[in-house]
Amino acid sequence: MLKGIAASEGIGIGKVMIVEEHSLEYTPKTVTDTAAELARYRDAVDKFCEETTEQADALRKSTGDKEAEILEGHIQMIKDPFMGGEIEKLIEEGGQCAEAALEQMCNMFIEMFSAVDDDVTQQRAADVKDIKSAILAILLGIKVVKISDAPAGTVLVAKEVTPSMTAGINKENIVGIVTETGSQTSHSAILARALEIPAVLSVEKATSTLSSGEQIIVDGSTGDVVTAPSEAEISEYSAKRDAFLREKRELENYRGKKTVSASGEEYELFCNIGTPKDATKAMEADGEGVGLFRTEFLFMDRNALPTEDEQFEAYKQAALVLKGKGLIIRTLDIGGDKDIPYLGLEKEENPFMGFRAIRYCLKNRDLFKSQIKAILRASAFGDIRIMFPLITAVEELRAGKALVEEAKADLRASGIEFNENIPVGVMTETAASGVIAHLLAKEADFFSIGTNDLTGYTMAADRGNSDVAYLYSPFQPSVLIMIKRIIECGKAEGIPVGMCGEAAANPMMIPLLISFGLTEFSVSAPSVLKVRKNIAKWTKDEADKVAEKVMSMATEAEVLDYLKGIV
């Protein structure tokens, strides 16, 4: 039995096909004929764009527009004036060979995106890595492996399944995917889910442990990979596969329905997004709005700040897609661990406790005001709400609101329309915000609980540190007490309280949130129907009994043992 990350649900039973990677090693050299080397690089980019366009067209036919856009985004990235221009400059002015120039610039972007503690942004590092590998292969004359000829009943096993590889997948023949890298939000996972192929990612040494032709079972719901399965195991997992497919069909019964508990309480079921295009995915998933629009993407992958107009167009586009449904836009959450070279941020020993998010914005008023004005302008086109991240003191909320009023005054003077009564809320994601929630609730229009950071700050545990991973859980009693307090303080002041952290989609957390009085759940688009179904299972009285029991427990282990037994 091998173990990895459950990335795409379902059960796949089939024979292994190892996708081997070719070496992309080369010897860097200085070139004297820079014009010829530049032409060589441009020819490689042209070929990359041509091949990628063909792959995107194939992917559009097999999965749809939104998955094809991943590959089309690769073309946009390499053609970006900053990335492509800097590579050409390294060749023209630096005398570097095309391979070295490409690798130097791509590695800079990979390092920049990888440093951000945000899955969506980190995936952009994977995009750049994919671009680098593809163009290097063209420059080196290497023929990239194609998997379109895989026979029926194949389980693909690779170090990584890239978007370009998946373009050739015949989903009728591929029953499972296993990789050595990747996460639930990586493109490997996104595309596997779009193709409805069970996938387990980050299985250590999968390509060397497994052999082509051997039969395995891939459980994309648990992250298990069963090697050399017995007849009894094959029979057991076949039954699980059939049950999974039945449940999937049943979920469609919740499409187009309100999000209602068994006792009739209604909830808002929103989605988390990172780009305006993600708003379309949220609507396709039957989301009822957007509970978290991360705005960092607008500031990444460029060499200068986005203008107010650029930001306005992005927020307006999302608002128009939502057609009047709620859109909560989180102001820039940058700084510390989220390094953007052109901002010139200083390195910090402890970035999570440092100069980031609202702290950075309040010290960079022009940047902050530009974003606020863009959001305000977009509010004329939909139900937009502003949310400040990493609030730890009432002064920060007041300073942010004061800047909103300044921005409103500027727009009035210019005769520009906006929503005068735009709600301004707080992302409660620190222990401090939980402790003073009763004070913040008097001055905020809404709360949204960010459980990822709230857990880390409350437990003083870095989720990326394996030595303290046992502490990083939203089911720790201290975190549950904090969540309950934040919701109760919001209710006491009559403001809505949502949750946009990953815990909002956890079936074991749902009865607790119903009991505590949460009003809005914001989850990933693929989780919408499942969350709606899970909410529909509980009456308020049943949830209250569960919460009463849980809140009397002293350890996370007790909480989880109990909840696993009833969910």
pLDDT of residue 348: 74
pLDDT class of 63 with cuts at 50, 70, 90: low
| Mean of pLDDT values over 95-118 | 87
Same domain, 378 and 406: yes
CATH number of the domain enclosing 95: 1.10.274.10
In 170-223, the DSSP E strands lie at 174-179, 199-201, 215-219
Task: Check if the beta carbon of residue 495 is closer than 8 Å to that of residue 486.
Answer: no
Answer whether residue 401 is part of any domain.
yes
**CA-to-CA distance for 324 and 510, rounded, in angstroms?**
27
Is 97 one of the annotated active-site residues of the chain? no
Residue 176 lies in a domain: yes
Instruction: Give the DSSP H or E segment for 496.
Output: none
Residues 291, 161 share a domain? no
**Is the separation of the CB atoms in 221 and 244 below 8 Å?**
yes
The set of residues, in sequence order, having a beta carbon less than 8 Å from that of 412 and lying 6+ positions away, is none
The count of domains in the chain is 3
Tokens found for residue 381 = 């086109």
Name the more confident of 349 and 460: 460
**Are residues 149 and 1 part of one domain?**
yes
| Residue 303 and residue 226 share a domain | no
Which of 140, 158, 192 is the endpoint of a domain?
140
Q: What is the DSSP letter of 557?
A: H
Give the pLDDT band (50/70/90) at residue 432. Answer: very high
| 190 and 98 fall within a common domain | no
Indicate whether 136 belongs to any domain.
Answer: yes
Find the CATH number of the domain harbouring 354: 3.20.20.60
Residue 151 has pLDDT above 60, yes or no: yes
Is 298 a member of any domain? yes
Instruction: Confirm if 6 and 223 have CB atoms less than 8 A apart.
Output: yes
Domain ranges, residue 30: 21-140
Percent of the chain whose predicted confidence (pLDDT) is above 70: 95
* pLDDT on residue 145: 59
Q: 58 and 172 in one domain?
A: no
pTM of the complete model: 0.73
In the predicted model, what is the mean pLDDT of residues 119-134?
A: 82
Gap between the Cα atoms of 374 and 311, Å rounded: 6
Residue 366 CB partners (closer than 8 Å, separation 6+): none
Domain boundary among 232, 251, 279: 232
Identify whether 500 is a catalytic site residue: yes
Question: Which of 150-164, 199-213, 322-336 shows the lowest per-residue confidence on average (mean pLDDT)?
Answer: 150-164
**pLDDT for residue 22 is more than 90:** no
- pLDDT range class, residue 168, cuts 50, 70, 90: low
Task: Please give the average per-residue pLDDT across 269-283, as a whole number.
Answer: 91
**Which pLDDT band holds residue 342 (cuts at 50, 70, 90)?**
confident
Say if 61 falls within a structural domain.
Answer: yes
- pLDDT confidence tier of residue 330, bands split at 50, 70 and 90: very high
Higher pLDDT, 545 or 339: 545
Closest alpha carbon to 127 in 194, 184, 77? 77
| 51 pLDDT above the threshold of 90 | no
pLDDT (0 to 100) of residue 241 = 94
Residue 164 sits in a domain whose CATH number is: 3.50.30.10
Does some domain include residue 316?
Answer: yes
Same domain for 289 and 325? Answer: yes
The pLDDT value given to residue 327: 98
359 plus 405 within the same structural domain: yes
Choosing from 187, 271, 361, 489, which is the catalytic residue? 187
For 421-459, b/e burial (b = at least 16 CB within 10 A) is: ebbbbbbbbbbbbbebbeebbeebbbbbbbbbbbbbbbb
- The pLDDT-based confidence of 501 (bands split at 50, 70, 90) is confident
For residues 365 and 440, membership in a common domain is answered with yes
Q: For residue 369, what is the DSSP state? A: H
Contact 521, 268 (CB under 8 A): yes
Q: Give domain status of residue 186, yes or no.
A: yes
Whether 316 has a pLDDT exceeding 60, the answer reads yes
Q: DSSP letter string over 264-291?
A: S-EEEEEEEESSHHHHHHHHHTT-SEEE
Task: Tell me the C-alpha distance between 502 and 36, whole Å.
Answer: 51
pLDDT at 39 over 90: yes
Return the percentage of the chain with pLDDT > 90, whole number.
68
Q: What is residue 373's predicted lDDT score, i.e. its pLDDT?
A: 98
CA nearest to 49, candidates 83, 81, 88, 76: 76
Question: pLDDT tens, 76-106?
Answer: 889 888 888 899 999 998 899 999 999 999 9
Q: Which of 330, 317, 428 is nearest to 381 (CA)?
A: 317
Are 281 and 350 part of one and the same domain? yes
Q: Does the pLDDT value for residue 336 go beyond 60?
A: no
Strand partners, 498: 448, 520
Which has the higher per-residue pLDDT, 336 or 207? 207
Question: What per-residue confidence (pLDDT) applies to 148?
Answer: 73
Task: Clarify whether residues 390 and 362 are in a common domain.
Answer: yes
Instruction: Return the sign of the alpha-carbon dihedral for residues 514, 519, 524, 529.
Output: positive
- Could you tell me if 211 and 94 lie in one domain? no
Is the pLDDT at 366 greater than 80? The verdict is yes
Work out the mean pLDDT of the chain and round it to a whole number.
91
59: pLDDT strictly greater than 80: no
Poorest-pLDDT segment among 16-20, 120-124, 306-310, 319-323: 120-124
CA distance 444 to 490: 9
Q: Are 485 and 434 in contact (CB under 8 A)?
A: yes
Q: Is 149 exposed, middle or buried (0-12, 13-18, 19+ CB in 10 A)?
A: exposed
Residue 249 lies in a domain: no
Segment 327-339 shows an average pLDDT of 80
Last residue of a domain, one of 104, 121, 140: 140
What is the Cα–Cα distance from 396 to 362, expressed in whole angstroms? 8
Region 473-500: mean pLDDT is 97
